[in-house]
Amino acid sequence: MIRVMHEQHALADLFVKFLLVRSMRTQADLVDQLFNSSERRLARILVLMAEFGEPGEPEPLIPAITQATLAEMVGTTRSRVSFFMNRFRKLGLIEYNGRIRVHKALLNLVLHDQFSGDNSERPSISAPQPGNPKRTRRSKPPATPSDM
């Protein structure tokens, strides 16, 4: 390979470009996994699979893919993927009946970080309202030798 790259500069340029693109994609995937919610990662994967921004078909249809496969790609469970897919469908971001059709609104959502909360897959924990404190049950203190 090294000999061919020295002899054919066009191949060497193409190979280096490929390596750089792949390296940048790997870095982006790592950052995505570390800092984004499962919902946002699923949206990003759907947008990448639909190839928005690339020259291609006008209405991006993703090839048939199972929710289990999407879950592996996102790093979550199939049930979470199902939940998010239903949510995206209700919001009009995708359509799916066997094959997934991604609408440009999902791309805008991913680009402008307009998801509901940072980690929308986590339930919110509500703080007690002022003037109405939550009562907590306290356990009895352990018995001491003098109590016996």
Second-level CATH architecture of 37-118: Orthogonal Bundle (1.10)
* Secondary structure element (H or E) that encloses residue 108, with its range: helix 104-111
- Dump pLDDT digits (tens) for 89-117: 998 889 988 789 888 888 877 777 666 54
Alpha-carbon dihedral sign for residues 84, 88, 89, 94: negative
Average pLDDT, the chain: 77
Residue 125 Ramachandran class (φ > 0 left, ψ -120 to 50 alpha, else beta)? beta
Alpha-helical (H) ranges within 36-128 are 38-50, 67-74, 78-90, 104-111
Q: Which residue is listed with tokens 């291609």?
A: 56
Q: Where are the beta strands (DSSP E) in 87-148?
A: 94-97, 99-102
Write down the pLDDT at residue 127: 44
pTM: 0.61
Write down the pLDDT at residue 77: 95
Question: What would the mean pLDDT of 19-23 be, rounded to a whole number?
Answer: 95
